[in-house]
Amino acid sequence: MTTELPPQWQDRIPESNRAQASIDAAAINSFQRDFARRGDGNPHRAFHVKSHAGLRGTLRILPDLPAVARQGIFAEPRDFSALVRLSNGFSAAKPDWFPDLVGLAVKVEGVDGDKLLPGEARAATQDFLALDRGYLPIEHAGQLMVISLATGNLLTAPFKLLRGLGIAKGLEVIFWTIGWSLRRLFLKSVVTIGFSGVVPVSVGPTPAKFHWRPRQSGPAPGRSRGSWTDYLRDDLRRRLAVGDIGFDLYLQFHVDDVRTPVDGGYAWDTGVAPMVKVAELVVKSCDLDGAAAQASEAEVNRMAFNPWHGIAAHQPVGNIQRVRGLIYQKSAALRSAAADPRQSEQP
């Protein structure tokens, strides 16, 4: 197992990536403005616009973790408050039957330490962003940008993918998308599925991938409201009305660059890099339509989530991660979103 980050991983955002990141950030800002013109005129998130819920929860760090895991927020057993956002991935609000990725974003509060992004020294938070996919069929950030921007027009998306990625990679991405899209049509709950960080972060000196595994299963209790557009939120409403919901947080640790590559969006074999449970995320039972839950959701939706919102002990790792920080930061700035609840309260 790797015990030290190679020098190239220690660069927070290398100068060699800044120029390209600025170009990509401008493209994402243009993408946001285009969707704003088609919508209410106001820039929103570039992606993950539709929220299923924005909740307050508790992240409980477990005791007796192995030494490799006892780094950063996992250094000792304790409870952190957390903001939790479950969302659809598209750049505009669509009915829940629309084939789409699902995201789980968790912002851990009360995290001390020097922050990674310039201008965010006051932010006492650590973000973890995950998707309901275990891997992405990409090798580098340029491919991710092509895929992301192609979604602006779904009719032309296949042609943009083939042109921007080449025939072989474009077809791979198209068939990958068709595969999960068909399964997505049968999704009835966003809290009975798993989520993965896809690309690694550091846990102290060791790269790791994180995964959220659901603590609940089966159909939601109670009577459905029969919504065909917002049934995923309805599922959450019924579950939270009768009990807590939660996820277990697992880490996979880097072994070597062949079997556990840090570049690209490849999955890591659990036979090579076993899952290690490190924490539990719990959201207490609540009335999702009540005043307190509505206030929490408004707070969460004001927030910016970014894999680079955090401390050096959990620095993002790999070629895709190295260009995400500034892109996400500029995207959030366009809609005046803050990294930390305390910042969002400032005039």
Q: What structural domains does the chain harbor?
A: 7-340 (2.40.180.10)
What is the DSSP-derived secondary structure letter of residue 62?
Answer: P
pLDDT, tens only, 110-153 = 998 888 887 787 789 999 999 999 999 999 999 999 999 999 89
Which tokens belong to 226? 């029969």
Q: What is the pLDDT of residue 6?
A: 45
Is 183's pLDDT higher than 60? yes
**How many CB atoms are located within 10 Å of the residue 48 CB?**
23
Max avg pLDDT among 33-37, 152-156, 271-275: 271-275
| Cα 288 to Cα 182: distance, rounded to the nearest angstrom | 29
Output 326 or 267, whichever has higher pLDDT. 267
pLDDT, tens only, 102-112 = 999 999 999 98
pLDDT, tens only, 43-81 = 889 899 999 999 999 999 999 999 999 999 999 999 999
- Reduced 3-state DSSP string for 272-300: CCCCEEEEEEEECCCCCCCHHHHHHHHHH
**CA torsion, ordered 70, 72, 78, 79, to nearest 10 deg:** -140
Q: What is the pLDDT of residue 7?
A: 43
Is 322's pLDDT higher than 80? yes
Q: What is the pLDDT of residue 343?
A: 59
**How many CB atoms are located within 10 Å of the residue 193 CB?**
16
Chain centroid to CA 12? 19
Q: What is the pLDDT of residue 122?
A: 76
In the chain the beta strands, taken as DSSP E runs, fall at 51-61, 79-88, 102-109, 125-131, 195-196, 201-203, 206-214, 245-253, 276-283
| Cα 211 to Cα 44: distance, rounded to the nearest angstrom | 27
Is 253's pLDDT higher than 80? yes
Q: What is the pLDDT of residue 324?
A: 87
Averaged pLDDT of the chain: 90
| Cα 71 to Cα 225: distance, rounded to the nearest angstrom | 45
Main-chain dihedrals φ then ψ at residue 199, nearest 5 degrees = -110, 150
Using DSSP's 3-state secondary structure scheme, residue 225 falls into coil
pLDDT band at 9, cuts 50/70/90? very low
Closest CA to 196 of 322, 94, 101: 101
**CA torsion, ordered 286, 290, 293, 296, to nearest 10 deg:** -160
| Cα 14 to Cα 48: distance, rounded to the nearest angstrom | 27
Q: What is the pLDDT of residue 12?
A: 57
| Cα 245 to Cα 177: distance, rounded to the nearest angstrom | 29
Residues 204, 2 contacting (CB under 8 angstroms): no
pLDDT band at 16, cuts 50/70/90? low
Mean pLDDT across 206-219: 96
| Overall pTM surpassing 0.85 (yes/no) | yes
| Cα 281 to Cα 199: distance, rounded to the nearest angstrom | 21
State the angle between helix axes of 15-38 and 141-150 in degrees (0 to 180), rounded to the nearest 10: 10
- DSSP one-letter string for 254-272: ---TTTS-SSSSPPPPTTT
Residues 14, 215 contacting (CB under 8 angstroms): no
| Cα 259 to Cα 256: distance, rounded to the nearest angstrom | 6
**Bridge partners, 339 (sequence order):** none
Q: Tell me the CA distances in angstroms from 17 to 22, 24, 137, 194, one per residue in order.
A: 9, 10, 21, 32
- DSSP one-letter string for 100-152: --EEEEEEEES--S-BSSTT-TT--EEEEEEES-S--S-SSHHHHHHHHHHTT
pLDDT band at 1, cuts 50/70/90? very low
